[in-house]
C-alpha cells in the first residue's frame, strides 16, 4: 500500500496554526471568566482576533475558499467569547 505525500505550503500551515491558536484563545477567555486571569485572557483574545483578522486579509490571495475559512474562524472566535447560553436569574 502506498502512502500519499501531501504537498502543503508552509504558509498555509502557519495560517492554520494561527487560527487554531485563535480558537484556543477564545475558549481560554471564556473559561477564565470570573477568575483572576480574566483580564489577561481577554487581552490575549484581542490580540488573537487581530491576528486572525490579519490572516483573513492575507488569505484573500489564496482564493475565496481560504478567505471564507478564515472568516468562519473569526466568527467562531467571536461567538465563543460572547455567547452566554445559560439562564441567569
| 43 inside domain | yes
> For 15-54, how does the pLDDT look when each residue is reduced to its tens digit (9 = 90+)?
999 999 999 999 999 999 889 999 999 999 999 999 999 9
pLDDT score at 26: 95
Stated pTM of the model: 0.84
Burial grade of 52 (CB within 10 A; 0-12, 13-18, 19 or more): buried
What the block records as the C-alpha cell of 76 is 467562531
| 7 inside domain | no
pLDDT score at 10: 84
| 64 inside domain | yes
| 4 inside domain | no
Mean of the per-residue pLDDT values of the chain: 88
pLDDT score at 1: 47
> Which residues form the domain of 52?
15-80
pLDDT score at 86: 67
Give the alpha-carbon dihedral of 5, 61, 67, 82, to 10 degrees: 110
Amino acid at each position: 500500500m502506498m502512502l500519499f505525500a501531501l504537498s502543503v505550503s508552509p504558509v498555509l500551515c502557519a495560517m492554520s496554526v494561527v487560527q487554531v491558536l485563535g480558537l484556543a484563545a477564545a475558549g481560554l477567555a471564556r473559561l477564565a471568566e470570573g477568575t483572576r486571569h480574566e483580564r489577561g485572557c481577554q487581552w490575549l483574545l484581542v490580540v488573537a482576533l487581530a491576528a486572525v483578522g490579519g490572516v483573513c486579509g492575507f488569505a484573500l490571495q489564496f482564493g475565496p475558499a481560504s478567505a471564507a475559512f478564515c472568516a468562519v474562524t473569526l466568527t467562531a472566535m467571536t461567538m465563543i467569547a460572547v455567547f452566554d447560553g445559560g439562564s441567569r436569574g
